[in-house]
Chains A and B, each alone.
Chain A
């Protein structure tokens, strides 16, 4: 997605923020959530959990928008997201991905 200007309704809309819960002992490190998180919030840990897998860890919780894709794609029932709050659109929502140019109108 490439924005060429600030969206007109940026003042009116609010972006939901998620609170991510990971049950580390259940994670088997399949990486589904890491691969398919649209905001790259998750990563596989370098350490191990009790069963010897690299569990998923949250590296960038501020960018989670509570889409709950990780929750539904997780085959281990080990990650879920609850709505934390709704926040106004901030610069990181628009200028999230690398290479996005924003021309302030």
Chain B
């Protein structure tokens, strides 16, 4: 019955399967959505590079059969920025977790968004540092229990779409691992959008976050998304905080145009140097 090849075989390293993610983890679903988005976007596969940081979601790069890079903790975005500037033809995608992109890599995140570097950032948010044992992260809602907040978190978590929009991202969306068709469409749009595109994906973490908070398994978490999600395209990003077990507002919030880093650089240098300046990336090698 298994003679036929898996449709994702051209994009995934099937020889590495089964992967390390726990049963009920949503990261695999996000990878499927990404693979489908790649096929829908129609970008040649040799013109795509995938960069991941550290963490459970950092493993994504290892399972994708494209040019993929597993970088140091929090430095996925600087690495992707360098990759994009060195070879502007590439579509550079960063897939990583909230702990990697927003906590240790938070500074890189806001500055890449501010400069509007043409990279696509897909942030898988599972509300804690899962790979290191479920510690409190910058997205953990209060009063969730984690390894390092045994009496409940009391810090205010980040509102990622607001952070991205405020920093200057041109495309901001949020979905969950349950809203896969919409997530695929959003990822396709992000891949084809010029500039810093950001998609936050809420994913279940059954082994650590759900277990410590006694929320059941991955399936129970998907049922929670089903019951509590509200799709509201174009919503004001200031109102997108996720409270513990409360409603999750999702949709496409921002889709705007801003000059990218390279465009702004070309414009400025052309103004200063005139015809002597050759546009970035066009210089004969």
Contacts and interface: CB of A to CB of B under 8 A. Distances in A.
Contact of B4 (A21, A30, A74, A75): A21
A74 B28 contact: yes
A21 B1 contact: yes
A35 interface: yes
B17 A32 contact: no
A37 to B, nearest CB: 13
Given A35-B219, A77-B17, A30 B23 contact: yes
Nearest to B226: A36
B180 A30 contact: no
A72 B2 contact: no
Given A72-B180, A73-B180, A35 B222 contact: yes
A23 B217 contact: no
Interface string A1-37: 0000000000000000001011101101111100110
Q: For the side of the interface on B, what is the size category?
A: 20 to 34
Contact of B27 (A21, A25, A31, A75): A75
27 contacts: A19-B4, A21-B1, A21-B4, A21-B6, A22-B2, A23-B2, A26-B17, A26-B18, A28-B18, A28-B23, A30-B219, A32-B218, A53-B23, A69-B180, A72-B36, A72-B180, A72-B184, A73-B29, A73-B178, A75-B29, A77-B6, A77-B14, A77-B17, A77-B28, A77-B31, A78-B17, A80-B6
